[in-house]
Amino acid sequence: MRTTLIKNIKSIYGVTTNADNSFKKGDQMKNVGIIHDAYILFDTKILEFGQMTDCPERADLVLDAQNTILMPTWCDSHSHIVFAGSRENEFVLRLQGKTYEEIARAGGGILNSAEKLQKADPDDLYRDAYSRLKEVISLGTGAIEIKSGYGLTFESEINMLTVIRRLKETTDAEIKATFLGAHAIPTQYKSDRKAYIRIITEKMLPYIAENQLADYCDVFCDEGFYTVDETDHILEKAASLGLKAKIHANELANSGGVQVGVKHHAVSVDHLERIGQEEIECLKNSDTIPTALPNVSFFLDIPYAPCRQMIDSGLGIALATDYNPGSSPSGNMTLMMSIACHKMKLSPEEVFNATTINGAYAMEIQNSHGSITVGKSANFFLTDQIPNLAYMFYHFGTNHVQRVWLNGRLQNE
């Protein structure tokens, strides 16, 4: 592929060498590698970068950054962007005082989305998810994890995972697929939960593993959804088929989800709005990366995960959007990061690390994504004329991302 040189970059953020590109913890989250007055040379991968005084003279294409900032694209490690319809009626009900749990118990929530999805044409699902993906790429996202979980039948769950596979094949975004058949108990199985769980473990999981339709298996382990024992059973089966775990844990109650996730060496445990010191200690002795979803706390008006306390205790965290129609109808990473700065009292550097190298770790792509490192995929964006990193989150609600490259290919102009 042709080489491209971008010169006159005001600052490159997220610079790391190969040696230190693992998941950042505690005080390490305060550090972001920066080079000022820089260039970068790339094809599909990053070939070299450095200060303008060392800038190469030639490349197939030379671009001038005109003193704007370059950052690695965001890694959004938790999303549900394949869905049908929308749920603004539930949003209005919540504004009137109904809770997320009350709406779910009355057949709304996830079951509402499942009913819509089961009736949808897979081509329409693909088209809508593709346009959401294009939207988030234009906002700076370069890698994203996408879950099933609005199908809740064998056929519809497979349809969702097939849509995710099509997205992988037709876009430059790096995509990880997660099977979330255990997202809710379908209404017809309310009085026989075991029967639905048997369909997950005996039918869905074997088919998905055999056809390599998912990278991970997730369970919504929370009050009113799946119990710790059910989660344990499903993850056990997934592991026996070679699927690693990710968990929705401790969103609605202190559910035991963190502990069962750590027990299964989950890649990440996500949500964590209701965790205490015990869960923090459990995570400290693990390789599992805790992942918080500030948009959900904002949108459902529930507590924020205690990320300040977690980082101050020495943990590393990832942050993701959870883009979905019920608890976070936004995939805007920069806006989510701004919310995390305000409401979780995280610094711009901490939210940056949580959505770049740590987000990459939460999708096991830290060796190819999440930082500006020679040999990694050429995934980065140039901003508009902003002075520094903090300004991105300070001037919230404006898209400061201008030109996005994924695998060295320009996505927008």
Give the interface with ligand NIG as residue ranges (CB under 6 A).
109-110, 113, 220, 248, 251, 296, 322, 324-327
Partner interacting with residue 220 (select from Fe ion, ligand NIG, none; CB below 5-8 Å by kind): ligand NIG
Chosen from Fe ion, ligand NIG, none, partner binding at 197 (C-beta under 5 to 8 Å by type):
none
In this structure, are strands 174-182 and 268-271 parallel, antiparallel, or unpaired?
unpaired
| Site map (CB under 5 A) of Fe ion, residues 373-412, x = contact | ----------------------------------------
Instruction: Give the per-residue SS3 of the chain.
Output: CCCEEEEEEEEEECECCHHHCCCCCHHHHHCCCEEEEEEEEECCEEEEEEEHHHCCCCCCEEEECCCCEEEECEEECCCCCCCCCCCHHHHHHHHCCCCHHHHHHCCCCHHHHHHHHHHCCHHHHHHHHHHHHHHHHHCCEEEEEEECCCCCCHHHHHHHHHHHHHHHHHCCCEEEEEEEEECCCCHHHCCCHHHHHHHHHHHHHHHHHHCCCCCEEEEEECCCCECHHHHHHHHHHHHHCCCEEEEEECCCCCCCHHHHHHHCCCCEEEECCCCCHHHHHHHHCCCCEEEECHHHHHHHCCCCCCHHHHHHCCCCCEECCCCECCCECCCCHHHHHHHHHHHHCCCHHHHHHHHCHHHHHCCCCCCCCCCECCCCECCEEEECCCCCHHHHHHCCCCCCEEEEEECCEECCC
Site for Fe ion contains 350 (CB under 5 A): no
Shortest gap between Cβ of 296 and ligand NIG (angstroms)?
5
x-or-dash pattern for Fe ion, window 280-319, by CB under 5 A? ----------------------------------------
Token pair for residue 152?
């809740």
| Identity of residue 204 | M
The pair of structure tokens assigned to 70 is 């370059």
Residue nearer to ligand NIG on the CB measure, 110 or 199 = 110
Q: Which among ligand NIG, Fe ion, none contacts residue 109 (Cβ within 5 to 8 A by kind)? A: ligand NIG
Distance in Å, CB of 218 to Fe ion, minimum: 8
Interface stretch with Fe ion, choices 20-28, 58-66, 222-230, 321-329 (CB under 5 A): 321-329
Minimum gap (Å) between residue 328 Cβ and ligand NIG: 6
CB of 271 to Fe ion, least distance (A): 7
Q: Which listed option, ligand NIG, Fe ion, none, makes contact with residue 156 (CB within 5 to 8 Å by class)?
A: none
Q: In this structure, which amino acid lies at residue 116? A: K
Residue 153 exposed, middle or buried by CB count within 10 Å (0-12, 13-18, 19+):
middle
CB of 18 to ligand NIG, least distance (A): 34
Residue 296, binding choice from ligand NIG, Fe ion, none, Cβ under 5 to 8 Å by partner class: ligand NIG
Pick 215 or 322: Cβ nearer Fe ion = 322
Residue 326 binds which entry of Fe ion, ligand NIG, none, CB below 5-8 Å type-dependent: ligand NIG
Q: Which is nearer to ligand NIG, 59 or 252 (CB)?
A: 252
CB-closest chain residue to ligand NIG: 326
Taking the complex as a whole, the smallest distance from the CB of residue 324 to ligand NIG amounts, in Å, to: 5
> How far is residue 333's CA from residue 319's CA, in Å, rounded to a whole number?
9
Report what 218 binds from Fe ion, ligand NIG, none; CB cut-off 5-8 Å by kind: none
For ligand NIG, which is the closer residue by CB, 72 or 290? Answer: 290
The residue from 76, 172, 174, 322 that contacts Fe ion (CB under 5 A) is 322
Residue 238: CB minimum distance to Fe ion, A: 17
CA distances from 362 to 96, 129, 173, 290, 318 (A): 36, 22, 16, 9, 7
Cβ closer to Fe ion: 183 or 263?
183
- How near is the Cβ of 330 to ligand NIG at its closest, in Å? 12
Radius of gyration of the CA atoms of the chain, in A: 21
Smallest separation (angstroms) from Fe ion to the CB of 389: 27
* Minimum CB distance to ligand NIG, residue 132 (Å): 14
The interface partner of residue 113, options being ligand NIG, Fe ion, none and the CB cut-off 5 to 8 Å by kind, is ligand NIG
Rank residues 292 and 378 by Cβ distance to ligand NIG and give the closer one: 292
- What is the spatial distance between Cα 4 and Cα 403, in angstroms, rounded to a whole number? 14
Interface with Fe ion: number of residues (CB under 5 A) = 1
Where along the sequence are the contacts to Fe ion (CB under 5 A)?
A: 322
